[in-house]
Amino acid sequence: MSALDTPELLALFAHFLVLSLLAVGGAITTAPDMHRYLVIDQRWITDAQFTASVALAQAAPGPNVLFVAVLGWNVAGPVGAMVTLTGIMLPSTTLALWAARWGARRRDTLAVRAFTSGLAPLTIGLLLATGWVLTDPARGHWELLALVALTVVVMLRSTASPIWMVAAGMLAGALGWV
């Protein structure tokens, strides 16, 4: 982790402000662009740090958006955590509050129904892109890809809690199988 100067912190904040407006389905759907910006373009953190940050935050109790603060922390310490979390939360929270009130008053109109129906495929596409980025370290390791595929099948075909698949992955890792 290196200290960023003020222009870099402002650029980080601005980037997460923009991502906030694209985060349909939650901040995790913008993880591919966060990866591109933080790892590929700026080289502030490594691919392994990015993946570990997301995994750590997703495993911890609390809101899913915590991974943004962990990424910011890895980039620039406590200031980075504050900058990224404020950037990702401020516009989307403000817009969501306004849109929820506006939409509640107009929920039966064709335009509002069409808009909300159109968000489902967009969210699914963004989540698939996130899954692609997060499985990047596993490519070339058939055991890990098999575990990811098994997890997807179990989650689609059963009502089992996802915690069981997390536990299976942890056990497989602890035993050295993956």
Task: Give the 3-state secondary structure of residue 158.
Answer: coil
The distance in angstroms from the start CA to the end CA of the chain is 29
In a domain, 142, yes or no: no
- pLDDT tens digits for range 11-33: 999 999 999 988 877 898 899 99
In a domain, 37, yes or no: yes
Q: What is the pTM of this model?
A: 0.65
| Residue 158 zone, left/alpha/beta (φ > 0; ψ -120 to 50; rest) | beta
HSE, side-chain direction, 13 A CA sphere, residue 27: 28
Q: How many CB atoms sit inside 10 A of residue 4's CB?
A: 19
In a domain, 130, yes or no: no
Given a cut of 80, is residue 51 above it in pLDDT? yes
Between the CA of residue 41 and those of 109, 142, 148, 151, 158, what are the distances in Å? 43, 29, 28, 31, 40
Q: Which domain holds residue 46?
A: 6-118
Task: Give the 3-state secondary structure of residue 96.
Answer: helix
59 or 98: which carries more pLDDT confidence? 98
In a domain, 67, yes or no: yes
pLDDT score for 2: 59
Given a cut of 80, is residue 1 above it in pLDDT? no
Rg (CA), the chain: 18
> How many domains does the chain divide into?
1
In a domain, 20, yes or no: yes
Helix locations, the chain, DSSP H: 6-22, 31-35, 47-59, 66-105, 110-134, 142-157, 162-174
List the structure tokens of 117.
């129906």
Q: What is the mean pLDDT of the chain?
A: 88
Q: Give burial (CB, 10 Å; 0-12/13-18/19+) of 161.
A: exposed
In a domain, 126, yes or no: no
In a domain, 177, yes or no: no
In a domain, 174, yes or no: no
pLDDT score for 87: 97
pLDDT score for 69: 95
- pLDDT tens digits for range 93-145: 898 899 889 888 998 899 888 888 888 888 888 888 888 888 887 778 888 88
Task: Give the 3-state secondary structure of residue 178.
Answer: coil
Residue 141 makes CB contacts below 8 A (sequence gap 6+) with 178
